[in-house]
Amino acid sequence: MADRDVQLLAIGAGPSNLALAVALEELAPDLARDSLIIERNEEVSWQPGMLFPDALSNTNFLKDLVTLRNPRSRFSFLNYLHSTGRLDHFVNMSSFTPYRAEVADYLRWTARSLALVELQRGTECVDISPVWTGGTLTGWATTVAGGQTITSRYLVLGTGRDIRIPEVLRGLKRERVVHSTEYQPRMAGLRKDLPYRVVVVGGGQSAAELFYSVQIDLPECRPTMVMRSVGLSTYETSKFTNELFFPSFVDEFHGARPEARDQMLAEMRHTNYAGVAPGMMDNLYRQMYLDRFTGRSRLQMITMHDITAARDEDDEIVLSLTDWRTGATQELRTDLVLLGTGFSPQMPGAVQRLAERIGLSQIAVNRDYRLVIDRPSTAACYLHGVNEETHGIADSLLSVMAPRANDILQDILTGDHLENLAAAPVTTPVVAAG
């Protein structure tokens, strides 16, 4: 592939960058024509590892890619339903929460509906370097698999956070450890008639879905759920609490003192983390109840235990569990470990590497999600979905995607990214060495 130059390059065709593409097409068509999204997968997907047939989204369908910014948009979820001939049936369900697979299909429909922004699938980013002209940052050079270089003035990273694998489990053979993001394809490759011993790690929604689903996907398995909490608990979902997911709350959160932000995040934790949706909680309890009633004794939950050691031993994994109440330990032998452990709270490795190349002493973004670069710059980089500490707990969710896309685009269009520009001699652009 030949090298390319565009004004705006967005990496990752997930909901965040699709929302940005929609905003570009509606508000800045000239910039849209000079914008490119690259996606490493061959098709646009969303949570493909967890697209269970009956799994529901936890987010109101009105919090789609565009409605909270432009309710008249042709890219809305309602127009998607109308275009696919399912609007009457969806309305008849009397539900605000679509199926997760339906949200994924809506994203694919949106990607196909783009008319100005180019989407290049099967293109994996392998390296990003800043481009300097004299002492001024003037752009970005992104290398993709195959060797092509794409230069851009604006860079938008929408690849999400890195998956979280607990340190104690990182030394295990990868073929026996399955993170929730890869559950569906990994399970498809296993025989269904074997009595696998399965350990599910975690106490939140992802772990609950793994525990529930593996009983269906591996009908002869014997699953055990291990968590350090005192037990499963449901999400906090009151309407008062949900107001903290309003896009308008981002300003309030961002303007608060750092210690106040920490307190708010701690109090809001059960609105998105370490909780289980009420419907799933009921399903799990019924599974456990029937397991006891039938005397099958197939299911087990071990609470208030930490996994303190893990090793491969012949064809099995041996986990050491420590009861944090008493300090007592036990060994648990298993064939598979399923991780409902979510994502790392740290900045993704790709962002950290880019920050090092720029020479930043810390990674921070302004209110409009622009990476703060403490030197002259005519270029800008924006970060999607990794700014919970400064923008609130909704940052990684669908709730704020449409307004955030508008914030980023308006920052570009108004030229606020030039605030650090200082006079610099014009020289031949140089790409920083890796």
Beta-bridge partner residues of 127: 143
Is there a single domain that holds both residue 218 and residue 306? yes
413 within 8 A of 28, measured Cβ to Cβ: yes
β-strand partners of 310 = 319
pLDDT of res. 420: 52
CATH code for the domain in which residue 289 is found = 3.50.50.60
Gap between the Cα atoms of 41 and 111, Å rounded: 13
Q: Could you tell me if 106 and 210 lie in one domain?
A: no
- For residue 266, being part of any structural domain is answered with no
Measured CA to CA, the distance from residue 148 to residue 432 in angstroms comes to 17
- Residue 274's φ and ψ, nearest 5 degrees, are 55, 30
Q: Are residues 295 and 355 in the same domain?
A: no
Query: Which token pair is 390?
Result: 């400064």
Residue listed under structure tokens 């008319």 = 115
Token pair belonging to 98? 């679509």
In a domain, 252, yes or no: no
111: Cα separation from own chain's centroid: 18
In a domain, 240, yes or no: no
Could you list the residue range(s) of the whole structural domain that residue 198 is in? Answer: 167-235+272-339
Nearest residue to 14 via CA among 412, 395, 385? 385
Tell me the sheet residues that pair with 128: 142
Domain count, the chain: 2
Helix, strand, coil percentages for the chain (3-state, nearest 5) = 35, 25, 40
Q: Does residue 314 belong to any structural domain of this protein?
A: yes
| 262 is a domain residue | no
> Are residues 229 and 146 part of one domain?
no
Neighbouring CB atoms inside 10 A of 368's CB total 18
Are both 324 and 371 inside the same structural domain? Answer: no
> Which residue in 113, 26, 124, 45 sits closest to 77, CA to CA?
113
Asked whether the beta carbons of 15 and 106 are under 8 A apart, the reply is no
Last-in-domain residue among 304, 339, 374: 339
Instruction: Find the largest Cα–Cα distance for the chain.
Output: 80
Give me the amino acid identity at 369: Y
Residues 154 and 277 in one domain: no
Output b/e per residue, 284-308; b: 16+ Cβ within 10 A: beebbeeeeeeeeebbebeeebbbe
Are 40 and 131 within one domain?
yes
Say if residue 278 is in the same domain as residue 394: no
Q: Choose among 165, 181, 157: nearest CA to 347.
A: 157
> Which pLDDT belongs to residue 53?
78
Whole-number pLDDT of residue 427:
31
Q: How many helices (H) and strands (E) does the chain have?
A: 14, 16
Dihedral sign of CA atoms 390, 16, 125, 175 in order: positive
Tell whether 221 is covered by a domain: yes
**Are 281 and 376 in the same domain?**
no
What was the pLDDT predicted at 52?
83
CA–CA distance, 35 with 119 (Å, rounded to integer): 9
Q: Which of 317, 339, 361 is the last residue of a domain?
A: 339
Task: Look at residue 434 in the predicted model and tell me its pLDDT.
Answer: 34
| Same domain for 286 and 146 | no
Contact between 18 and 110 (Cβ < 8 Å)? yes
DSSP assignment of 70-102: -TT-TTSHHHHHHHTT-HHHHHHHT-S--BHHH
245 part of a folded domain: no
Confidence (pLDDT) at 425: 33
Q: Distance (Å, rounded) from C-alpha 4 to C-alpha 116? A: 17
Residues 379 and 400 grouped into a single domain: yes
Q: Who's near 164: CB < 8 A, 6+ residues apart? A: 339, 341, 342, 343, 344
Q: How do the pLDDT tens digits run along the chain, 434 residues long? A: 579 999 999 999 999 999 999 999 999 999 999 999 999 999 998 888 888 878 889 899 999 999 999 999 999 999 999 999 999 999 999 999 999 999 999 999 999 999 999 999 999 999 999 999 999 999 999 999 999 999 999 999 999 899 999 999 999 999 999 999 999 999 999 999 999 999 999 999 999 999 999 999 999 999 999 999 999 999 888 899 888 889 999 999 999 999 999 999 998 888 888 889 999 999 999 999 999 999 988 999 999 999 999 999 999 999 999 999 999 999 999 999 999 999 998 999 999 999 999 999 999 999 999 999 999 999 999 999 999 999 999 999 899 999 999 999 999 999 866 655 443 333 333 444 33
Final residue in a domain of this structure, among 298, 316, 339: 339
For residue 53 the two structure tokens come to 């047939």
- pTM for the whole structure: 0.92
Q: Which residue has the tokens 């029937």?
A: 290
Is residue 242 domain-resident?
no
Beta strands in 21-80, from DSSP E residues, in sequence order: 35-38
Judgement on whether residues 329 and 195 belong to the same structural domain of the protein: yes
Any idea what DSSP says for residue 370? B
Q: Kindly state the DSSP code that residue 404 receives in the 8-state scheme.
A: H
CA distance 45 to 249: 29
| 283 burial level (CB within 10 Å; 0-12, 13-18, 19+) | middle
